[in-house]
Amino acid sequence: MIKERIIKKILDNNQSITIEKYIEFCLYDNHGYYTNNNIVGKSGDFITAPEISQLFGEIIGLSIYSLWKNIINQSFNLIELGPGKGTLLIDILNITKKFPKFQKSLNIKLIEINDDLIKQQKYNLKTNVLHTKNIKWVKDITSLSPNPAIIYANEFLDCLPIRQFHHNNGTWVEKMVNFNKEDEAFFTENKIIQDPATLSFLNKQDHNNILEISEQRDNYFHQICKYLRKFGGVSLIIDYGYYDNPNNFTLQSISNHQRTNIFDNPGTQDITSLVNFKRLIEIAKWHNLNIYTFCSQKEFLLSHGIEKRKNIILKKCNNKQKDIIEKGYERLIDEKNMGSLFKVLIVTR
């Protein structure tokens, strides 16, 4: 059904649409990927850090407690963007049980558009934490109550759609999606950029030949920053991305933990791209917010005591459990994988 809708859109739009529009159909259409259940975990298409090891969620939980104590220290909204199965929140709530003042100050808001995931989150939270009365589900950040907040997200911004641009023979072009009726297959083609405003923006981008731009990602982070500017608090963003533009295309699709062609079976696989953290920092500064932390995931976890926490847990484990904990720990801080690819950005008012 999604494939037919995309084809119709292409035919109605002078034979092509932007990659951004294609991703929107695949992920956020009424029958899109993020309306499906079972997308996270071993049986889904991808595994996030909280699913790899409880150590990740516990360190994030202790960090959130520290941020609350030092910056907010009153009743506040704890807001998670795209909570997946609820695993990260469960780890946060469990590790902070020893801080009763913190837990009494919590008003938890989960931003989720997938109704099946909401059901799964509710079940997992009721099963794994003592109380859920202060947890509410909302569709977007604009419907939140006006309290100071800690807004956190793990692997959320990477799935927002992007546009792709390429500087070719002195001319900026945009990669567009078209459809070949004979082969019944989608393909990309280049369209010369003629809009003066777009050209002006592209020509200011550090002499890079390849650019990926996400207006939706920018707009979402603008909303977060506006909230913090108005009501106070902290934003903690964890995602895979870069500060210096890699000067190559980073768009990828994932199905059953394997990379696939983004045009295979639209609506049935995840589509993501690396997050431009330099752009997020620029937006935060535009709102007169402070950059509290920006570093790799490895640096963040190690500086916040993940090794010490691991050793405490290992003392209570059998050999099989120890092996799981050690492997999860190594995967989270691995320089060749998650440890360096994933970045942590903390912004405060």
Are 130 and 197 in the same domain?
A: no
Question: What integer pLDDT is reported at residue 308 of this predicted model?
Answer: 92
Domain boundary among 212, 228, 245: 212
Are 169 and 226 in the same domain?
A: no
Are 167 and 157 in the same domain?
A: no
Express each pLDDT in 137-147 by its tens digit: 988 887 787 89
The pair of three-digit structure tokens given for residue 86, joined into one six-digit string: 């609820």
Question: Whose CA is closest to 346, among 237, 231, 221?
Answer: 237
Are 144 and 266 in the same domain?
A: yes
Are 114 and 250 in the same domain?
A: yes
Are 157 and 195 in the same domain?
A: no
Backbone angles phi, psi at 254, to 5 degrees: -130, 135
Reply yes or no on whether the pLDDT at 43 is more than 50: no
Are 310 and 344 in the same domain?
A: yes
| Average pLDDT value for residue range 330-336 | 90
Express each pLDDT in 247-258 by its tens digit: 889 999 888 778
CA 94, distance to chain mean position in Å, is 23
The pair of three-digit structure tokens given for residue 65, joined into one six-digit string: 């407690």
Question: What integer pLDDT is reported at residue 140 of this predicted model?
Answer: 84
CB 347 within 8 A of CB 290: yes
Are 179 and 70 in the same domain?
A: no
Q: Per mean pLDDT, which range of 64-78, 209-223, 278-292, 306-320 is the poorest?
A: 306-320
Cross-strand partners of 171:
168
The pair of three-digit structure tokens given for residue 274, joined into one six-digit string: 């690396």
User: What's the full length of the chain, in residues?
Assistant: 349
Backbone angles phi, psi at 151, to 5 degrees: -105, 115
Question: What integer pLDDT is reported at residue 245 of this predicted model?
Answer: 86
pLDDT band of residue 183 (cuts 50, 70, 90) is confident
Domain boundary among 153, 179, 212: 212
| Average pLDDT value for residue range 87-109 | 93
Domain boundary among 194, 212, 230: 212
Reply yes or no on whether the pLDDT at 46 is more than 70: no
Question: What integer pLDDT is reported at residue 40 of this predicted model?
Answer: 58
Q: What is the CATH number for 304?
A: 3.40.50.12710
pTM of the full predicted structure?
Answer: 0.91
Question: What integer pLDDT is reported at residue 173 of this predicted model?
Answer: 93
| Average pLDDT value for residue range 67-80 | 96
pLDDT band of residue 39 (cuts 50, 70, 90) is low
Are 263 and 168 in the same domain?
A: no
Are 8 and 141 in the same domain?
A: no
Express each pLDDT in 115-154 by its tens digit: 888 888 898 888 887 566 678 998 888 778 789 999 999 9
Give the span between the Cα atoms of 113 and 203, in whole angstroms: 36
Question: What integer pLDDT is reported at residue 47 of this predicted model?
Answer: 66
Question: What integer pLDDT is reported at residue 321 of this predicted model?
Answer: 83
Domain boundaries, position 21: 2-31+163-212
CB 323 within 8 A of CB 270: no
Percent of the chain topping pLDDT 70: 95
Are 301 and 280 in the same domain?
A: yes
The pair of three-digit structure tokens given for residue 160, joined into one six-digit string: 């927002």
Q: What angle separates helix 319-333 from helix 54-67, to the nearest 10 degrees?
A: 60
Q: Residue 12: CB partners within 8 Å, gap ≥ 6?
A: none
Question: What integer pLDDT is reported at residue 45 of this predicted model?
Answer: 52
Into how many domains does the chain fold? Answer: 2
The pair of three-digit structure tokens given for residue 236, joined into one six-digit string: 């903690």
Are 87 and 115 in the same domain?
A: yes
Give the span between the Cα atoms of 97 and 141, in whole angstroms: 26
Q: Residue 268: CB partners within 8 Å, gap ≥ 6?
A: 33, 36, 255
The pair of three-digit structure tokens given for residue 323, joined into one six-digit string: 């092996």
Mark 313-333 as b/e (b = at least 16 C-beta within 10 Å).
beeeeeeeeeeebeebbebbb
Distances (CA, A) of 48 to 44, 153, 168, 210, 247: 11, 12, 36, 28, 26
Three-state DSSP state, 6: helix
